[in-house]
Amino acid sequence: MSDTFHPLDIRMLAMLRSGKRLHGLFNGIPSPALVEMSAFAGFDFLVIDNEHGSADLESTENMLRAARASGIATVVRCLMHDIPRVLDIGAGALQIPMINNADEARDLVSRIKYPLPGGLGGTRGSAFSGRAAGYGAFGGPSHTQRSNEGIALIAMIETPEGVANAEAIAAVPGVDAVFVGPNDLAHTMGFENRWHEAPVQAAIAKTLKAVAQAGKCPGILALNAEDEARYAAWGARYFANVSTALILKAFREAAGG
């Protein structure tokens, strides 16, 4: 089968390693139509937000199908306990919140990799009956290899502890990118949602530069061109906006607000 039609889309890893700027969108609305619209609008990637969004696993699987059909690369942001099932429904990239140190990052990598002969690999449970392996059509060692070598992992830093350990987190083999969550970082630093306060911006700068120093892709939320330019100067290449913010802005403008 052509890689274009394989259910497990692993393009995100090469994109993160490309050195190019990437522009994507967090989407917490369980709608395959919005996934398609994001593709047709020209975004490089879409983050299916299962940390704060309302999608269940079936909706997530259908959004992954819509992404594959419309050609947009996808990331699924999910909580740690959802990792096995999200991988089995075909996520080719995961973004995991609240990683605070290198030990947590190593544990995360282990959860995403299948065990290999000789005690290598990780601790992911093996089942080839789900969508990721074509319901068994593409199971076995080839699926194990494709998954272990192709699934991208983006760790999120959202606390002062994570900022202090940013370079060590990024240096863990198997971590492909590190994304700063500015809202949570501002809250954990005592600034509520005011992430443009100088101390929060200094922490963001420190983190992005440390990730770049480690040779990994730095990412961050960027809601406007001014923020993107500032963060790009600190090394960021993986930028995400938010679907609901863009939709609400468009609706307000249409309503004359």
Q: What pLDDT, in 10s, does the model give residues 208-217? A: 999 999 999 9
Burial (Cβ within 10 Å: 0-12, 13-18, ≥19) of residue 232? middle
**Assigned domain for 167 exists:** no
Helices (H), 5-136: 11-17, 32-41, 57-70, 83-88, 102-112
**Assigned domain for 35 exists:** yes
What percent of the chain has a predicted confidence (pLDDT) above 90? 97
Q: Which residues of 107-131 are buried (b: 16+ CB within 10 A; e: fewer)?
A: ebbebbbbbeeeeeebebeeebebb
Interval 49-97: pLDDT, tens = 999 999 999 999 999 999 999 999 999 999 999 999 999 999 999 999 9
**Assigned domain for 19 exists:** yes
Of residues 98, 28, 90, 42, the one with CA closest to residue 70: 42
Q: What is the mean pLDDT of residues 29-39?
A: 98
* CATH at 71: 3.20.20.60
What was the pLDDT predicted at 112? Answer: 98
**Assigned domain for 229 exists:** yes
Q: What is the mean pLDDT of residues 93-113?
A: 98
Interval 226-249: pLDDT, tens = 999 999 999 999 999 999 999 999
**Assigned domain for 161 exists:** no
Domain span including residue 39: 3-155+219-254
**Assigned domain for 238 exists:** yes
Asked if pLDDT for residue 257 goes beyond 80, the answer is no
52 is catalytic: yes
**Assigned domain for 197 exists:** no
In whole angstroms, give the CA distance from residue 112 to residue 105.
11
Q: What is the mean pLDDT of residues 183-191?
A: 98
Interval 246-255: pLDDT, tens = 999 999 999 9
What was the pLDDT predicted at 2? Answer: 65
What is the 3-state secondary structure of 140-162?
CHHHHHHHHHHCEEEEEECCHHH
pLDDT level of residue 5 (50, 70, 90 thresholds): confident
Active site residue: 52, 81, 143, 187, which one?
52
Query: What does the angle CA 246 – CA 20 – CA 218 come to, to the nearest 5 degrees?
Result: 75
| Strands 177-180, 217-221: pairing kind | parallel
248 CB contacts (<8 Å, ≥6 apart)?
none
In whole angstroms, give the CA distance from residue 240 to residue 148.
25
What was the pLDDT predicted at 86? Answer: 98
pLDDT level of residue 1 (50, 70, 90 thresholds): low
**Assigned domain for 151 exists:** yes
Mean pLDDT of the chain: 97
Q: What is the total count of domains within the chain?
A: 1
Asked if pLDDT for residue 221 goes beyond 80, the answer is yes
Q: What is the mean pLDDT of residues 14-24?
A: 98
